[in-house]
Structure 1
Amino acid sequence: MSARLSAEERRESVIRAAIAEFAHGGYAGTSTAAIARRVGVSQPYLFRLFPDKRAIFLAAARRCTEQIRRRFAEAGDGPSPEQAKEAMAEAYNELITNRDQLLFQMQMYVAAAVAEQAGDADFAAQLRSSWEELWDLVHLRLGAVPADTSDFMATGMLVNVLLAMGFPAEHRVWTGLGEKGVCPPGGAPPG
């Protein structure tokens, strides 16, 4: 007989399930019923853990960006900005092997844009806030040089797009990224 999970353990299960469900359906296209089914709880129980779908999405967004931020903080604690950059790039290459996490990141960007257009500036601001914390950490680890921060983050966004779109490792769109320490999945550094 399995032990009953605490409310906090259930919350964790909901966040993991939400990342997977929202990754594929987006904010608008994912139902709370699908999340509840994935976790194995009823919708009323889901709403005892989180007040609404928005709160679930925000918790998942915080988890996703915090996981990246934490890995960058650990990896980027090197003696020089260049070593920090290499270590953070390597850490990110490992993180994005989780396709649900990768696709959820992309859904976060869409959700923020749609919320802003719909007049829900608060929702968009909360999503941006998680991402800003990540940007701030990278900025400090890279020596607080705006161009270096922008280059690192832009490379990450390009990698996200290429992976999300399914470009194979040998495709020409990966050319040049090897110089930035990026290896496509299953491939050698492109050159």
Structure 2
Amino acid sequence: MGRMSAQERREGVIRAAIAEFARTGYHGTSTAAIADRVGVTQPYLFRLFPDKKTIFVSALLRSMEDTRLAFERAADGLEGGERAFQAMTSAYAQLISTRPETLLMQMQGYVAVAAAEAQGDDLIGEVVRAGWMRIWETVHLSLGADADRTTTFFACGMLGNTRTAVGLPASTGK
């Protein structure tokens, strides 16, 4: 196999960063751990990304977009009703059970917002809010722009998130 391009390396770093930040958060994760996981040196890591915060934001954006795309794909072609709701619910349960780091990365992002904003840094908060609104809009439109159904969907999702975060199955199996 040939050498990887810088873009392929960036992708590898983002995926490695999601795995590392999901486990230990922004402050608990070293750039050395990310570089080791992806198999590059730290100096090379910093040729791809200017700093740790940029890596974190890139990982956060990717995990949020992965979630949004899972919803979009699941609801594609379904007419904004119960079928779309169930398809997106199943897709999300599948995503967080097979790739829990996607959810955990987003949760780390929520924690990082409070810490960063307490220090006067709004970037992470802006990224999280914009990403969350893209997810909300995708689900909302997929459910026929029904605010009550969208709220119910996210309430059920939060229950699944909490169950997953504490080590229980995402679903009660009903």
Same fold (TM over 0.5): yes
Q: In the alignment, which residue of structure 1 is the partner of 2:18?
A: 19
| Rounded Cα–Cα distance in structure 2 between residues aligned with 1:67 and 1:127 | 14
Unaligned runs of 5+ in 1: 170-181
Q: In the alignment, which residue of structure 1 is the partner of 2:164?
A: 163
Deviation of 1:9 (Å):
0.8
Q: In the alignment, which residue of structure 2 is the partner of 1:172?
A: none
| Rounded Cα–Cα distance in structure 2 between residues aligned with 1:152 and 1:114 | 28
Please say if residues 64 and 105 of structure 1, whose CA atoms lie closer than 8 Å, have aligned partners that are also in contact: yes
Where 2:79 maps in the other structure, the secondary structure is: coil
4+ aligned runs moved over 3 Å, structure 1: none
- Alpha carbon RMSD of aligned pairs, Å? 1.5
Higher normalized contact order (CA 8 Å, seq sep 6+, divided by chain length): 2
Cα distance 1:38–1:91, how it changes in 2: closer, same or farther (>3 A)?
Answer: same
Deviation of 1:20 (Å):
0.5
| Rounded Cα–Cα distance in structure 2 between residues aligned with 1:67 and 1:86 | 18
Query: Of the two, which has the highest radius of gyration?
Result: 1
| Rounded Cα–Cα distance in structure 2 between residues aligned with 1:144 and 1:79 | 11
Please say if residues 64 and 102 of structure 2, whose CA atoms lie closer than 8 Å, have aligned partners that are also in contact: no
Q: In the alignment, which residue of structure 1 is the partner of 2:94?
A: 94
Deviation of 1:108 (Å):
1.4
Q: In the alignment, which residue of structure 2 is the partner of 1:83?
A: 83
Cα distance 1:24–1:151, how it changes in 2: closer, same or farther (>3 A)?
Answer: same
Normalised TM-score (structure 1)? 0.84
Amino acid in structure 2 at the alignment position of 1:183:
S
Residue 101 of structure 2 is aligned to residue 113 of structure 1: no
Normalised TM-score (structure 2)? 0.92
Cα distance 1:150–1:116, how it changes in 2: closer, same or farther (>3 A)?
Answer: farther
Aligned residues: 172
